[in-house]
Amino acid sequence: MSDSVAVWARPERGRRGPAPERSRDQIARAAIAIADADGLAAVSMREVAASLGTGPASLYRYVRAREDLLDLMADAVLAELELSAAPSTDWVDDLVALAGEVKAVHLRHPWLLDLPPQPSRLGPRAIDLIEHALGLMRHLPVQGRVKLEVIGVVNSLVAQFARHETAAEAPVSDRQAAQTAYLGKVAADGSHPLLAAALADTAPGDALDVFEPTIRHVAMGLTGIAHR
């Protein structure tokens, strides 16, 4: 099996020999369970194989490398999205709602935020998501590439906000406690008065909800189309 065939373009079984005992989806879901419980770093080939009751080498019948497994995981969680809703009359509202659903996927699977996005990670469900998002913008009088740009930017913002919310909710690690102490020290020593003031202006637990306005502004700004 060549490097030059994307994992989702490969057939799941050969034309001879026994039927495989597992599927790529099953392996991806086993990996997702581990990532959900213990983070992405815990998703080793050995750990995934053990959770399936097999040896690590057997996974290489389904994926070429761990990177393929990560691709499968990232795409598999998008199955949680309900993409069949018909667009309303307000494409910006629809895009904001879709962005909110994608953000919710990230909140359920925080390890997604540890996966550097790569254009090469687009699987069937990611492609369905893009098609759906393009559907929301179907009638806009702008070029396709502008629409794709909007989608890329919105995805990036979704991850950013998800990261923010995840950090706010997660138990504080030693590392984060150390950083907070460090920031407090810097704020206290007078060398960064604007930062000190801004931090003082940011009460804990008093989170802004700027997700929706951010998505709105970006969508309307890039397409040049006002909300109606």
Partner DNA sequence: TTATACTGCGATCAGCGTTCGCAGTATAAG
Partner DNA sequence: CTTATACTGCGAACGCTGATCGCAGTATAA
> Minimum distance from CB of 46 to its own copies (Å)?
19
Question: To the nearest whole angstrom, how small is the minimum distance from the Cβ of residue 25 to its own copies?
Answer: 17
Cβ atoms of 34 and 51 closer than 8 Å: yes
Q: Does 120 bind its own copies (CB under 8 A)?
A: yes
| 204 near DNA, judged by CB under 7 A | no
Using a 10 angstrom Cβ sphere, with 0-12 exposed, 13-18 middle and 19 or more buried, the burial of residue 18 is exposed
144: number of CA atoms within 13 Å, CB side?
2
211-223 and 91-108 are packed helices; what angle lies between their axes, rounded to 10 degrees? 130
Q: From the list DNA, its own copies, none, which binds 29 (C-beta under 5 to 8 Å, kind-based)?
A: none
C-beta of 47 vs 128, nearer to DNA: 47
Within 24-43, the residues that bind its own copies by CB under 8 A are: none
CA 210, 214, 217, 219 torsion: positive or negative? negative
Q: What's the distance, CA 132 to chain centroid? A: 17
Q: Which of residues 159-178 bind its own copies (CB under 8 A)?
A: 159-160, 163-164, 167, 173-178
Binding to DNA in span 208-227, by CB under 7 A: none
Q: How far is the CB of 175 from its own copies (least distance, A)?
A: 5
Contact of residue 178 among its own copies, DNA, none (CB under 5-8 Å per partner type): its own copies
Give the distance between the most distant pair of CA atoms in the chain: 72
Question: Which residues bind to DNA, rule: CB under 7 A?
Answer: 13-22, 43-47, 54-58, 60-62, 64-67
